[in-house]
A and B are shown apart, each in its own frame.
Chain A
């Protein structure tokens, strides 16, 4: 019992010394430490941009996809039976998510509500000039065009259409942006890890004799490694402060300027809270992880223990 407590006290002391050593060495290798921190900062700002872009593109894409419907009109003279046939044929298509029938009477009622002129006009006509219709939703954007073609072939269908061209292009452009951003971020993270690793390497070399002595007098490998891992951690965490602030302020400003304005109805951004909060945490975690991975590499490579 008492021994356990002593062990814990000892472990704490080793931890405390490690932290102290890490702080010291960040200042000792000031220029390289600054370089690492700056690199982390730049990387994490780009990570933040990537997250903002990706999340919002996903958000916009999702909301666009929700609007992606095929409008199907039946022939003027369809029977009820034919309507049923059309509906079941459409439902048979695998990728169809949802089919909603809207009869010409329903259309008429809806139209009459738009304006009085329309109401008068429609009431004065002998027959209903409108068509029975279906609104079809598909599971994925890329299913739109083939499904539309298939529906056109169904007996009793007069037309089937969707917002051809533009929607697909926007979404595929978004996907390119997303992939490019993620690729760039991964590359930058690797570069940062290498830079941090080099910083730690320098610390290890500058403390060579100290490490030699520590090994001779019986420091455990963990307590030799700990300060270096902490140093990497520290560099990463310090490097994530500015990106976190930039994310919070930047996104609030962006949201105010773009997201809530009615001029761009297509750009509807994700609400700042709790989005910026999660993003900041992600930045902090990435910073800390990159720092520790970088230092782990240096420790494994240059600290032969």
Chain B
């Protein structure tokens, strides 16, 4: 209504964003949304509804075909391939499949993220230990991934994702391979990270039980279209998607 243009920078701003894959599939259509710093947002929707595509555009694995994806003031879609790494250093990313290196110990897997960005060993150690403490795995630092349960492996991934203190943690179905109890543990870890570290978290999932229990903001995708945007706590147990 106001004629003035007071621009309040949102942490994440997505405006009229489309993603059409080379094969002609429109995975995301006319998506517009904002996310504040410190929010915990779920992205739900049926399989193939475009959740992963949205996530991939955030960490610039895919470029939007049209529209803007802005992250902390950076137009992510406009980043050149060779500067994408600078964005990635400010993000943490967690997947369904754990993507741990089997020949490295828990400690080494987490430290790997910092070695990759050229950090000194003496700086790496305290950060890795702190991150492993956040996910409750400090006593397993010498174990190898195949000696861990699924939930523990996923916690190592989370530790690796947060080890460089990202402002944003992106999770694509992090509980997809885990049973209900283990999923609950993982959600507790993520919840603590969000609350204690103030890390913004975006999590794609199709597990409605989790979403209902967590009482956070929920974005619903339907064939690539944002069909609903539930404010924190307004996604009810009875809600059908």
A209:B101 contact, CB within 8 angstroms: yes
**Interface residues in chain A, defined as those with a beta carbon under 8 Å from any beta carbon in chain B:** 9-11, 13-14, 17, 209-210, 212-221, 223, 305
- The minimal Cβ–Cβ distance linking B11 to chain A, given in whole angstroms, is 19
Question: In the complex where A17-B115, A223-B118 touch, is A218 in contact with B86 (Cβ < 8 A)?
Answer: yes
Whether, in the assembled complex, B85 has its beta carbon less than 8 Å from a beta carbon of chain A, the answer is: yes
- The minimal Cβ–Cβ distance linking A225 to chain B, given in whole angstroms, is 10
Interfacial chain B residues near A9, Cβ < 8 Å = 120
Expressed in whole angstroms, the Cα–Cα distance for A97 and B59 within the complex equals 73
Interfacial chain B residues near A218, Cβ < 8 Å = 85-91, 116-117, 164
Contacting A at CB under 8 A, from B109-159, are 112-113, 115-120
A217:B81 contact, CB within 8 angstroms: no
Which listed residue, B85, B87, B93, B164, touches A221 by the CB 8 Å rule? B85
A212:B86 contact, CB within 8 angstroms: no
Q: What 4 A-B pairs are tightest by C-beta distance, nearest first? A: A218-B89, A218-B88, A217-B113, A10-B118
Interfacial chain B residues near A219, Cβ < 8 Å = 85, 116-117
B88:A209 contact, CB within 8 angstroms: no
Residue of B at shortest CB range from A210?
B101
Expressed in whole angstroms, the Cα–Cα distance for A305 and B80 within the complex equals 11
Interfacial chain B residues near A305, Cβ < 8 Å = 81
- The minimal Cβ–Cβ distance linking B95 to chain A, given in whole angstroms, is 9
- The minimal Cβ–Cβ distance linking A96 to chain B, given in whole angstroms, is 61
**Interface residues in chain B, defined as those with a beta carbon under 8 Å from any beta carbon in chain A:** 59, 81-82, 85-91, 93, 99, 101, 112-113, 115-120, 160, 164
Interfacial chain B residues near A17, Cβ < 8 Å = 115
- The minimal Cβ–Cβ distance linking A238 to chain B, given in whole angstroms, is 25
B101:A217 contact, CB within 8 angstroms: no
B112:A217 contact, CB within 8 angstroms: yes
Name 6 A/B residue pairs within 8 A (Cβ), A-sorted. A9-B120, A11-B118, A209-B99, A217-B112, A217-B160, A219-B116
Residue of B at shortest CB range from A13?
B118
B118:A221 contact, CB within 8 angstroms: no
Expressed in whole angstroms, the Cα–Cα distance for A210 and B91 within the complex equals 18
Interfacial chain B residues near A13, Cβ < 8 Å = 118, 120
Question: In the complex where A10-B118, A212-B99, A213-B99 touch, is A220 in contact with B112 (Cβ < 8 A)?
Answer: no
- The minimal Cβ–Cβ distance linking B180 to chain A, given in whole angstroms, is 27
Q: In the complex, which of the residues B81, B85, B86, B113 has the most CB atoms of chain A within 10 Å of its own CB atom?
A: B85
B118:A217 contact, CB within 8 angstroms: no
A217:B116 contact, CB within 8 angstroms: yes
A221:B116 contact, CB within 8 angstroms: no
Interfacial chain B residues near A220, Cβ < 8 Å = 82, 85
Residue of A at shortest CB range from B90?
A218
Interfacial chain B residues near A223, Cβ < 8 Å = 116, 118
- The minimal Cβ–Cβ distance linking A108 to chain B, given in whole angstroms, is 83
Interfacial chain A residues near B116, Cβ < 8 Å = 213-214, 217-219, 223
Q: Give 16 new A-B contacts, CB below 8 A, not counting A13-B118, A218-B164.
A: A14-B118, A17-B115, A209-B99, A209-B101, A213-B101, A213-B116, A214-B116, A215-B88, A216-B88, A216-B99, A217-B117, A217-B164, A218-B86, A218-B116, A220-B82, A220-B85
Interfacial chain A residues near B86, Cβ < 8 Å = 218
Expressed in whole angstroms, the Cα–Cα distance for A305 and B81 within the complex equals 7
Q: In the complex, which of the residues B93, B117, B160, B164 has the most CB atoms of chain A within 10 Å of its own CB atom?
A: B117
Residue of B at shortest CB range from A17?
B115
Expressed in whole angstroms, the Cα–Cα distance for A216 and B113 within the complex equals 9
Interfacial chain B residues near A216, Cβ < 8 Å = 59, 88, 93, 99
- The minimal Cβ–Cβ distance linking B96 to chain A, given in whole angstroms, is 14
Expressed in whole angstroms, the Cα–Cα distance for A214 and B117 within the complex equals 9
- The minimal Cβ–Cβ distance linking A22 to chain B, given in whole angstroms, is 16
- The minimal Cβ–Cβ distance linking A283 to chain B, given in whole angstroms, is 34
Expressed in whole angstroms, the Cα–Cα distance for A46 and B85 within the complex equals 44
Interfacial chain A residues near B87, Cβ < 8 Å = 218
Which listed residue, A14, A212, A217, A221, touches B82 by the CB 8 Å rule? A221
- The minimal Cβ–Cβ distance linking B43 to chain A, given in whole angstroms, is 19
Interfacial chain B residues near A215, Cβ < 8 Å = 85, 88
